[in-house]
């Protein structure tokens, strides 16, 4: 058997293998990820059907776990029945987090009030079940930090972090972990690379957000977990650390927040 290298540890903490564009070629996507050293993946739900699919993929695929939740874009239409089903899904083996939930005041596809209500209900569910929460936040950083400061949930991931260094420091002080991915490669990426440089190592996670946020320089139309080494490389350069160290630290952080610690 080939001896595992440190880069085999890479953990994609946010991908949507449950998205139809990736689902139709799932075995190949997972194979390419493993071939690139991405041995662990968290598949995140964005509505009820995608949460069901996430749980199903996690049940069938080694090294893949899932989160269940409804994206803030859909907050307007999420009701009691949906939260009841999320609770049932969250009890399944391999479902390790609640999300993605959050606030998106950039696209405002649901009213701000509805987004806040849905976020609170996801936080309630996570607290009840003792699970971490995965947050989506766009153009609402101060509002999000306000919610977190008021509620103090025990375990939170701020995915696709794109706030300022001040936001990141406040998030870290509140115990949050921040996920970084393709945004590091885009316009404004230098500011984000500075954030990555400033954050304590134990607050950083790597993610692709596949099929979205294709890193600049990656091939293909859709992003996929196999592109995660590009992100690890950028984070390593920003922090002036070895890529193996970044791979190991961020995977350890992921195992900690998802409670997969037992040397799996
Ligand atoms: Zn997402």
Within a domain: 263? no
Q: For residue 206, how far is its CA from the centre of ligand 1 (angstroms)? A: 13
Give the number of domains in the chain. 1
Ligand 1: centre distance to CA 109 (Å): 15
Distance from the alpha carbon of residue 47 to the mean position of ligand 1, in angstroms = 11
Report CA(100)–ligand 1 centroid distance (Å). 7
For residue 236, give the CATH number of its domain: 3.20.20.140
SS (H, E, C) the chain: CCCCCHHHHEEEEEECCCCHHHHCCHHHHHHHHHHCCEEEEEEECCCHHHHHHHHHHHHHCCCEEEEECCCHHHHHHCCHHHHHHHHHHHCCCCEEEEEEEEEECCCCCCCHHHHHHHHHHHHHHHHHHCCCEEEEEECCHHHHHHHHHHHCCCCEEECCCCCCHHHHHHHHHCCCEEEECHHHHCCCHHHHHHHHHHCCHHHEEECCCCCCCCCCCCCCCCCCHHHHHHHHHHHHHHHCCCHHHHHHHHHHHHHHHCCCCCCC
CA of 14 to the centre of ligand 1 (A): 6
pLDDT at 261: 75
Examine residue 262 and state whether it is found in any structural domain, yes or no: no
The CA 76 to ligand 1 mean position distance, Å, reads: 18
Residue 88 lies in a domain: yes
| CA 159 to ligand 1 center in whole angstroms | 7
pLDDT score, position 243: 96
pLDDT of residue 187: 83
Residue 3 Cα, ligand 1 centroid: separation in angstroms? 32
Per-residue pLDDT of the chain (264 residues), as tens digits, is: 344 455 578 999 999 999 999 999 999 999 999 999 999 999 999 999 999 999 999 999 999 999 999 999 999 999 999 999 999 999 999 999 999 999 999 998 999 999 999 999 999 999 999 999 999 999 999 999 999 999 999 999 999 999 999 999 999 999 999 999 999 999 889 999 999 999 999 999 999 999 999 999 999 999 999 999 999 999 999 999 999 999 999 999 999 999 997 644
In a domain, 25, yes or no: yes
How many angstroms is it from 15 CA to the middle of ligand 1?
Answer: 6
Range of the domain at 87: 7-257
pLDDT value of residue 264: 44
Distance 136 CA to ligand 1 centre (A): 7
Tell me whether residue 145 is in a domain: yes
């Amino acid at each position: 058997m080939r001896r595992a290298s440190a880069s085999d540890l890479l953990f994609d903490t946010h991908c949507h293998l449950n998205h139809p564009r990736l689902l139709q070629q799932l075995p190949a996507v997972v194979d390419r990820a493993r071939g690139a050293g991405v041995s662990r993946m968290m598949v995140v739900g964005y509505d009820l059907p995608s949460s069901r699919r996430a749980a199903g993929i996690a049940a069938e695929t080694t090294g893949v776990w899932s989160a269940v939740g409804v994206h803030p874009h859909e907050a307007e239409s999420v009701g009691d029945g949906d939260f009841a089903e999320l609770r049932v899904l969250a009890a399944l083996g391999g479902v390790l987090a609640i999300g993605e939930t959050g606030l998106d005041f950039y696209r405002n596809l649901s009213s701000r009030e509805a987004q806040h209500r849905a976020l609170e209900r996801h936080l309630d569910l996570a607290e009840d079940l003792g699970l971490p929460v995965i947050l989506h936040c766009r153009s609402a950083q101060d509002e999000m930090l306000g919610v977190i400061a008021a509620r103090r949930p025990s375990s939170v991931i701020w995915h696709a972090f794109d706030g300022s260094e001040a936001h990141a420091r406040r998030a870290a002080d509140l115990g949050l972990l921040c996920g970084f991915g393709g945004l590091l490669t885009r316009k404004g990426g230098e500011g984000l690379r500075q954030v990555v440089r400033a954050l304590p190592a134990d607050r950083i996670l790597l993610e692709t957000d596949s099929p979205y946020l294709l890193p600049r320089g990656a091939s293909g139309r859709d992003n996929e977990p196999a592109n995660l080494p590009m992100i690890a490389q950028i984070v390593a350069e920003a922090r002036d650390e070895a890529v193996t160290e970044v791979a190991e630290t961020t995977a350890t952080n992921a195992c900690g927040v998802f409670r997969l610690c037992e040397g799996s």
